[in-house]
Amino acid sequence: SAVISQKPSRDICQRGTSLTIQCQVDSQVTMMFWYRQQPGQSLTLIATANQGSEATYESGFVIDKFPISRPNLTFSTLTVSNMSPEDSSIYLCSVEDRRTYEQYFGPGTRLTVT
Amino acid sequence: GDSVTQMEGPVTLSEEAFLTINCTYTATGYPSLFWYVQYPGEGLQLLLKATKADDKGSNKGFEATYRKETTSFHLEKGSVQVSDSAVYFCALSSFDGNEKLTFGTGTRLTIIP
């Protein structure tokens, strides 16, 4: 299974600012995913990021709010822009093993917006 | 679209009790089915999976069988331990060009000694 790290692990940010979350994988992967887990809720997919192409966003999520970069096969970033308290969540990246179709998750970034 | 309906929690059981967490799904085609577990203060971990009808996934004493006729993937364990206390998520992945996971709402399980 892939080993995934995320930075930062947590942050407290002020309303109106932006935060960029980094996701690093220890192996090359084609597809990376970004999820949001709001307090006490399940996980919701924000977008799918393939290397070399624009990210594909799910309904309710837009690029201006959650811009994503995928510069190579082991790294991706998610930016949460112009934050509001409603953005307070855990943000997780995941990767898929194309041989087994299993997805592995990073430890998450706990974001609190005040 | 795809959806997963999961037994609502929280669930509290005594140690060594039998556990069932119900999960049913709606999907086009033939999805793969997963159970993920989130232990307190930890990240999401894959617990088990099944990729086709009648497959049984198993791990750490947990089992779940892919039932196409009832569109279900119920999680079971014969004798739970305090260390099984966690939040359990049922999920599916449809192979429609985007292998995203669709999650259920999660079930918080607490095992008391």
Contacts of residue A58 in chain B, CB cutoff 8 Å? 100
Contacts of residue A44 in chain B, CB cutoff 8 Å? 103
Distance between CA atoms of B86 and B109, rounded to whole angstroms?
A: 5
pLDDT for res B100: 82
Distance between CA atoms of A75 and A69, rounded to whole angstroms?
A: 8
Provide mean pLDDT across the span A70-80.
95
Confidence class for position A102, pLDDT limits 50, 70, 90: confident
pLDDT for res B25: 96
**Residue B97 predicted with pLDDT over 60:** no
pLDDT for res B96: 60
Residues 6+ apart with CB under 8 A from A53: A70
Structure confidence by residue, pLDDT tens digits, B100-113: 899 999 999 999 99
Contact between chains at A107 and B43 (C-beta distance less than 8 A): yes
Closest CB from B44, B49, B93 relative to A105: B44
**Residue A101 predicted with pLDDT over 80:** no
pLDDT for res B29: 79
pLDDT for res A21: 98
Contact between chains at B44 and A92 (C-beta distance less than 8 A): yes
Structure confidence by residue, pLDDT tens digits, A18-43: 999 999 999 999 889 999 999 888 89
pLDDT for res A84: 97
pLDDT for res A9: 95
Closest CB from B49, B102, B105 relative to A102: B49
Confidence class for position A88, pLDDT limits 50, 70, 90: very high
Residue A47, both tokens: 């977008």
Residue B5, both tokens: 């309906």
Distance between CA atoms of B70 and B53, rounded to whole angstroms?
A: 11
Confidence class for position B8, pLDDT limits 50, 70, 90: confident
Distance between CA atoms of B4 and B26, rounded to whole angstroms?
A: 6
Distances from the Cα of B113 to the Cαs of B35, B60, B84, B88, B107, in angstroms?
24, 19, 12, 20, 19
pLDDT for res B79: 96
pLDDT for res A54: 87
pLDDT for res B98: 61
Based on the number of CB atoms within 10 Å of its own CB, is B113 exposed (0-12), middle (13-18) or buried (19 or more)?
exposed
Q: What percent of chain A has pLDDT over 90?
A: 80
The answer to whether the CB of B107 falls within 8 A of the CB of B7 is: yes
